Structure 1
Amino acid sequence: SVGLKPSDIAAKISSRKMLAALLAALGIPCDKLSSLYAILDKKAKIPVEAFTEMLSGQIADQDILQKVRRLMSVESLDSIGSIVPITPEFQSALDELKTVFALLETMGIGDYCRFDIGIVRGLAYYTGMVFEVHDITGDLRAVCGGGRYDNLLRDFGGPAVSAVGMGMGDCVLEILLREKGLLPEPIATRCLDYFIVPLDSALEQTAIQIAARLRLAGYSADFSYKTSGLAKQLKFATAANARFCVILGDEFARDGRFVIKDLSSGQQTTPTCDEFWTSIERS
């Protein structure tokens, strides 16, 4: 939607599960994988000599070392089998990755995506697909990167739920859009439809409910997490470039009426809750 084309940007995709299976097939112990991932992740970021030296510090066996170097240079999934024996674990991970690429094609974005075994992600908690989005020329840092982790939530005391997460560099994206002439000048400022103003701490939960309902109806809505006086909250609303304020004050406590303040004209109306939500549903 921002105008970037496959000639501008690419999502590079690999699989930590597949890489783990390949390294295990080469005879690298499980307890060495975490430290090895951090080195393999640096392959495209440091000189070849430095990468080779770091890799040699982790892998003493020269035959395995050469196979790992060859493995990290493959450009297609089909060429991996000529370097590493195909194990059931590798085949399972390979099938998963091929399914991902097939789904991306079905979604119509396959042209933006490519396999890159050099996408490792240095953090040890990734267990499945990993990805990074880069500009085609490679002049910039990754626009975003992330992947799947099956055990992270459990390791921090939560449920054993698989998840996919990513981090994004908005500054990198801005630079890329500027270089491609795709960033409007001036950049559009944030515009908020409604800012909710509870004038009593007892109405904070009501403010949260109103904001949530407005968002579900397709409107942008926000509120301050710190209750303060009307003047201060109106300043917050103005800073957020809000169109309207929904004020929960005496009128709400006494009669169940909102005060809707138009921040551009200063005009106010006092609809009942039902009247307000009916107007929202109709608009």
Structure 2
Amino acid sequence: MNSWLDVVAGVVLGLLVNEGTEISPWLAHKVLRWAGAIQQPGRAAEFAEERSATINSRPGKTFKLCTALGFLLAAMVHRAVDPGTTARSRRLAVLRLRVLAAIAASGLYAATWGLISLFLGKPSLSPMVSMGLALFVVAMVVFHLPLQTPKAALYYGTLPAILMSLLWIGADFTAPLVIATLLAPVYGTAQAVRMLLRDSRLLARIASVVAIGTVITATAVVQLETMPPHAVFPFSLGMTGLGLVGGLCVEIGLLLIEHVENEWHDMGVTPPAAIRTHGRD
């Protein structure tokens, strides 16, 4: 019975994949129209026509659909962070921008923990969900805190990490202590990296942050994989390293916020001073 079900499921799945691939170009242009309706109401057809050449130039049918979905996502983000014309709409736009940036940061951190658990041979959704949610909350707090000078950023990054490392002396592996160690250097790390990369282009800054985070993550994974059982110091050191990675994820969120606020500035739109803390100085 199970063999028949497997055969039927395989045939149905094959048909779905084949038909889905065939309709991908048609669906891509439909998605492009939806993106135009969201980003430029009243100009959906013109929006789609201007970007059709980009869709058609993509090799493969599925890649065309992925490109159109990228336009749709960009349109949704553009609509979400539209500053509007009133002070209230601008406040809401800033809040939505920070929520989206926090989602991006926490999503990256959750994905990092998923890869870590996979490399350690213990794949689990629990660390992804818990650390993603924890970093989302921390990111929202960081986005509302003021900018720091390089010296202050270094202080806020190293002192909490050192204090948390000292708490590991004679301590057991408890979840609250692990989470606190991971989140301790986030604020200072994000601020310090932002100050170091502030004169670079957005994509170059994000690429630099991802490269640094990849190196630190790989080092921390090796540290955790090779440490002796119940070795407190190597474990706390690895957790601190992964805390730095969390700070780098929040830094990507800060870069996105700064980029959008700078675009607002170029448009002559300035959000209320009480909530504008991450744009141009």
Q: Relative contact order (alpha carbons < 8 A, sep ≥ 6): 1 or 2 greater?
A: 2
TM-score (norm 1): 0.23
User: Which structure has more helix as a fraction of its residues?
Assistant: 2
User: Which structure has more strand as a fraction of its residues?
Assistant: 1
TM-score (norm 2): 0.23
